[in-house]
Amino acid sequence: MTTQEQHKASAGPNEPQQSGEQLRQMLPELNTARPTIAEIARRAGVNKSTVSRALRDDPSIPQATRQRIQDLAAQLNYVPNASARHLNHARTDTIALVSRALNLDTGAGSADPFLVELLAGIADEAASHHFDVLLVRAEEGERELGVYQRILGGRHADGVILTDLRPNDHRLAYLCRHRYPHVLFGRSAEDLAEARLYPYPWAEVDNRSGARIGTEHLIGLGHRRIAFIGGGDTYHWERDRRAGYREALARANLPYDPRLCIPSGISQKDGYLLTQQLLSWEEPPTAIFAISDVLAVGVMRAALDAGVQVGPAFSVIGFDGLGLGSYLTPPLTTLRQPINEVGRILVQLLCAVLRGTPPEEPHVFLQPELIVRASTRGY
Amino acid sequence: MTTQEQHKASAGPNEPQQSGEQLRQMLPELNTARPTIAEIARRAGVNKSTVSRALRDDPSIPQATRQRIQDLAAQLNYVPNASARHLNHARTDTIALVSRALNLDTGAGSADPFLVELLAGIADEAASHHFDVLLVRAEEGERELGVYQRILGGRHADGVILTDLRPNDHRLAYLCRHRYPHVLFGRSAEDLAEARLYPYPWAEVDNRSGARIGTEHLIGLGHRRIAFIGGGDTYHWERDRRAGYREALARANLPYDPRLCIPSGISQKDGYLLTQQLLSWEEPPTAIFAISDVLAVGVMRAALDAGVQVGPAFSVIGFDGLGLGSYLTPPLTTLRQPINEVGRILVQLLCAVLRGTPPEEPHVFLQPELIVRASTRGY
DNA sequence: TAAGCTAACGCAACCGGTTGCGTAGACAAA
DNA sequence: TTTGTCTACGCAACCGGTTGCGTTAGCTTA
């Protein structure tokens, strides 16, 4: 319970007056007796197997009988029991998404806007493949692998989508060892010794190219002292974006100044504080590349508070393409990730693995799109 | 596929060169042969039933035997098959969340930031009750009820959480008729004829009180011509917020001017365009209550573009308490909804229903919290 | 030593579908 | 009438656990 005031329905306006006791008496028995195939068979005067076949439109059952049984089933509101079906087929037609963003204590502050977009893509594509989607919180430390054992070993799902990939991610070795079907959102095991033999597909947004393109955009505007704020060393996406930044500098023959490449947390507050520091330098940078839009928000607010006008002279660029970027003042230049698309593709790849027919091209790179707005271009 | 450029891994930098063909050969057989209880029984030289009991720490099995079997199971990496268990127990220990926000085409523009917070609360609480969470897209029209039939009738989940409640929501009657366990995020069937007999719990944020408090905040600042932008007539939350606005006016003996209460879509663009109109009036309102934070963003941008300073003289207030509100210029006064908390409570309520022991108080109102920022107060 | 009791475990049915195989019955051909 | 064929459907095992009840071995008690 939080400190939120919670009042009861009886105190609310115009609410029906129901106590828990009354409700307890009203609450119907749980509907435990749903019609089964055996029940339909009994009523139709045939064998279970005949019903099963009729419902699946097996041509060995004559059309008339089929129709009769189907009508009866519809009339009884029959729905096949998923567990029974799953048990037979040794499949559950379910895929799981494991995400850290579901944890309440990730320190990301408010919820990750990413996840919904990803989920929308996943849910949409999964539905069209007749798959259910299971949502699973990622655990950390000792219990991390236990999640996958429970979900895949226990057949809660047939396969799983991994996110938040790290270098030397030990989940990969574990999943391979147990032959648990999975796909990755994010680059795989290129740093594993057996990288070239890693057999599962992945899809990712090309973070390195995106960061390079963004940095080149700043360089093209004439900036020479470009700071890069953000990220730790934990996840691939952070490392890759930083690599893209350095790549752009190198291509432009600009020196890489480690003091300008600043590690940080992932909240807007980190962006705010670090930008304050940067602006207090004798010779501050003229542009800041924030590793995420959320960080960029803090960057821009710090500039605002310091009286620095964001635009061509002092440019800020973010990464992600979250909706909020266009509402900032000035609107934020950023690299938009096609998250929906990633979700769809991940499901397609995973379904292919589950069918045993991996796709022609198991490794999909999606290019982020540079969206130039006033935070670099001015009005 | 979008118009995004998609290139292949082989074109990416430093990527292992794997073709689909190679991968097809590498991809291990799906792990179909996981140990079963029968397998363990065979190896331990006992009966299936003994293994089953030993694994459940049944005291009728002597400690030594129990330990031996448990060790063997751990060594074989045994995980019980969920489908088999579910089939036995006539329970799946799974709850489903049905949400419109997962549809790609809801017209909401970018993804609903709500859902993640709600999901985080749900996932957290569900995990502590040992429940899985299934994510299901809401369908509309003809196929809407079919979703519930499939999920609950087919035993994909034991119960379901409904969102986006509407007046006369025919889903409620359907679920009651079939005795499908469910809880509501949002007010229930008070408009159903049998409202007082509706037996299922619900939890909701008190939208009416929130809107009233927000409006009273504006009135307290001296505003007399307060516009209310937003919402349609479809969902309870829209109607209730509007009702709260009117309630505050009535309590303050201010006239209700229908021209100031403007229906709209739910995107920031709607907020933008409607505010432009309002500002062009001969005698524009001095304050705007936007029905959601997203709309408020559009409102504030329109004011900015029109050269109207948002603050004490021209105040804007939103509703939701999304993280983005604090990043706006000026930061947005809003009513924060305790969404996480709602998620937790919904799960608690649903679990209670599934246990057959409904909670003492089945109807929970959570109060939104007024967060006053510079958009009404000034700097 | 036989009857009685309990601890320890096996047997088999069951959950709700699926499926390989067998067979009864209808009908045609010999 | 017998043999053969094909259609329409039944029988029973099976998926992987769970559970009520029965049985056996071992020990105590009369």
In chain A, beta strands by DSSP E:
6-8, 94-99, 132-137, 159-162, 182-185, 202-205, 226-229, 261-262, 287-290, 315-317, 334-336, 363-366, 369-371
Report the nucleotide nearest the CA of residue B56, measured to C1'.
Answer: D18
What secondary structure letter does DSSP report for B379?
A: -
| CATH, domain range B207-338+370-377 | 3.40.50.2300
Report the DSSP beta bridge partners of residue B202.
Answer: B184, B363
Could you tell me how many residues make up chain A?
Answer: 379
pLDDT reading at A301 higher than 60:
yes
Q: Name residues 225-264 of chain A within 8 A of B (Cβ).
A: none
Of A110, A176, A338, the CB nearest to B4: A338
Task: List the single range of A1-10, A64-73, A361-370, B70-79 with lowest mean pLDDT.
Answer: A1-10
Report the nucleotide nearest the CA of residue A47, measured to C1'.
Answer: D10
Of B119, B199, B365, the CB nearest to A23: B199
Instruction: Determine which helix (DSSP H) or strand (DSSP E) holds A171, and give its type and residue range.
Output: helix A170-177
Tell me the two tokens of residue A40: 């339909």
- Report CA(B62)–C1'(C2) in Å, whole number: 29
pLDDT reading at A18 higher than 50:
no
Region A17-34: what's the mean pLDDT? 56
* Chain B residue closest in CA terms to A10: B363
pLDDT digits (tens, 9 = 90+) for B148-205: 999 999 999 999 999 988 888 899 989 988 999 999 998 754 554 445 678 889 999 9
DSSP letters for A281-293? SSS--SEEEESSH
Distance (Å) from the C-alpha of residue B281 to the closest C-alpha of chain A? Answer: 25
From chain B, pick out residues whose CB is under 8 angstroms from the CB of A330: none
pLDDT at A112: 65
Predicted structure pTM score: 0.89
CB contact under 8 A, B86 and A90: no
CATH-assigned architecture of domain A94-206+343-367 = 3-Layer(aba) Sandwich (3.40)
Residues with CB under 7 A from strand D: A 45-50, 60-62, 65, 84, 87-88, 90; B 36-38, 48-49, 52-53, 55-56, 78, 80-81, 84-85, 87-89
B153 touches chain A (CB under 8 A): yes
From chain B, pick out residues whose CB is under 8 angstroms from the CB of A303: none
A94-206+343-367 against A207-338+370-377: fold identical:
yes
| Whether B240 contacts B208, CB under 8 Å | yes
Percentage of chain A exceeding pLDDT 70: 86
Instruction: Determine which helix (DSSP H) or strand (DSSP E) holds B135, and give its type and residue range.
Output: strand B132-137
pLDDT reading at B20 higher than 80:
no
pLDDT at B378: 77
A206 touches chain B (CB under 8 A): yes
Report the nucleotide nearest the CA of residue A155, measured to C1'.
Answer: D16
pLDDT digits (tens, 9 = 90+) for A264-280: 988 888 999 999 999 99
Q: B94-205+340-367, superfamily in CATH?
A: Response regulator (3.40.50.2300)
Report the C-alpha gap between B27 and B270 in whole angstroms.
50
| Whether B203 contacts B183, CB under 8 Å | yes
From chain A, pick out residues whose CB is under 8 angstroms from the CB of B28: 176, 179, 199
pLDDT reading at B315 higher than 80:
yes
pLDDT digits (tens, 9 = 90+) for A136-181: 999 988 999 999 999 999 999 999 999 988 888 899 989 998 999 9
Tokens 């408090």 — which residue? B213
Of B2, B23, B361, the CB nearest to A341: B2
- Report CA(A72)–C1'(D9) in Å, whole number: 18
Higher-pLDDT residue of A50, B324? A50
Tell me the two tokens of residue A249: 């500098």
pLDDT at A300: 93
Distance (Å) from the C-alpha of residue B257 to the closest C-alpha of chain A? Answer: 24
pLDDT digits (tens, 9 = 90+) for A303-322: 988 999 999 999 999 999 88
* Chain A residue closest in CA terms to B90: A32
Region A131-138: what's the mean pLDDT? 96
A130 touches chain B (CB under 8 A): no
pLDDT at A325: 82
From chain B, pick out residues whose CB is under 8 angstroms from the CB of A353: 27
For chain B, what is the mean pLDDT?
87
Q: Name residues 48-87 of chain B within 8 A of A (Cβ).
A: 77, 79-84, 86-87
Q: Show the CA angle centred on residue B354, arms to residues B353 and B356, nearest 5°.
A: 65
List bases, strand D, within 7 Å of protein CB.
7-20
pLDDT at A26: 61
Per-residue confidence at A13, pLDDT binned at 50, 70, 90?
A: very low
pLDDT at B199: 85
CB contact under 8 A, A366 and B4: yes
Question: Which of A8, A76, A81 would best serve as a mutation to test chain B binding (most B beta carbons within 10 A)?
Answer: A81
Q: Which amino acid is at A119?
A: L
B338 touches chain A (CB under 8 A): yes
B200 touches chain A (CB under 8 A): yes
List bases, strand C, within 7 Å of protein CB.
7-20
* Chain B residue closest in CA terms to A25: B199
Number of C-alpha atoms within 13 angstroms, CB side, residue A89?
Answer: 13
- Report CA(B89)–C1'(D26) in Å, whole number: 36
- Is A99 in a helix, a strand, or coil? strand
Q: Which amino acid is at B48?
A: K
pLDDT digits (tens, 9 = 90+) for A320-330: 988 778 878 88
pLDDT digits (tens, 9 = 90+) for A181-222: 999 998 754 554 445 678 889 999 999 999 999 999 999 999
Of A28, A110, A206, the CB nearest to B323: A110
pLDDT at B114: 77
* Chain A residue closest in CA terms to B100: A120
pLDDT digits (tens, 9 = 90+) for B216-268: 999 999 999 999 998 788 888 999 999 999 999 999 999 999 999 999 988 88
- Is B121 in a helix, a strand, or coil? helix
Distance (Å) from the C-alpha of residue A283 to the closest C-alpha of chain B? Answer: 27
Report the nucleotide nearest the CA of residue A66, measured to C1'.
Answer: D8
Question: Which of A133, A135, A366 would best serve as a mutation to test chain B binding (most B beta carbons within 10 A)?
Answer: A135
Distance (Å) from the C-alpha of residue B286 to the closest C-alpha of chain A? Answer: 22
pLDDT at B111: 53
pLDDT at B268: 81
pLDDT digits (tens, 9 = 90+) for B106-132: 544 455 677 888 999 999 999 999 999
Q: Name residues 100-119 of chain A within 8 A of B (Cβ).
A: 101-104, 109-113, 115-117, 119
pLDDT at A231: 79
pLDDT at B11: 34
From chain A, pick out residues whose CB is under 8 angstroms from the CB of B8: 361, 363-365
Distance (Å) from the C-alpha of residue B6 to the closest C-alpha of chain A? Answer: 5
- Report CA(A181)–C1'(D25) in Å, whole number: 48
Q: Where are the alpha helices (DSSP H) in chain B?
A: 20-26, 37-44, 48-55, 63-75, 82-89, 113-128, 144-148, 170-177, 207-220, 236-251, 268-279, 293-305, 339-355, 374-377
Region A318-346: what's the mean pLDDT? 90
CB contact under 8 A, A104 and B120: yes
pLDDT at A25: 56
pLDDT reading at B6 higher than 50:
no
CB contact under 8 A, B197 and A26: yes
The torsion defined by the Cα of A35, A38, A43 and A48, in degrees rounded to 10, comes to: 140
- Report CA(B50)–C1'(C3) in Å, whole number: 30
Per-residue confidence at B325, pLDDT binned at 50, 70, 90?
A: confident
For chain A, what is the mean pLDDT?
87
Burial B322-360 (b: 16+ CB within 10 A, else e): bbbbbbbbbbbbbbbbbbbbbbbbbbbbbbbbbeeebbe
Q: Minimal CA–CA distance to A53: which of A43, A42, A45, A41?
A: A41
Residues with CB under 7 A from strand C: A 36-38, 48-49, 52-53, 55-56, 78, 80-81, 84-85, 87-89; B 45-50, 60-62, 65, 84, 87-88, 90
**What is the domain partition of chain B in residue ranges?**
37-70, 94-205+340-367, 207-338+370-377
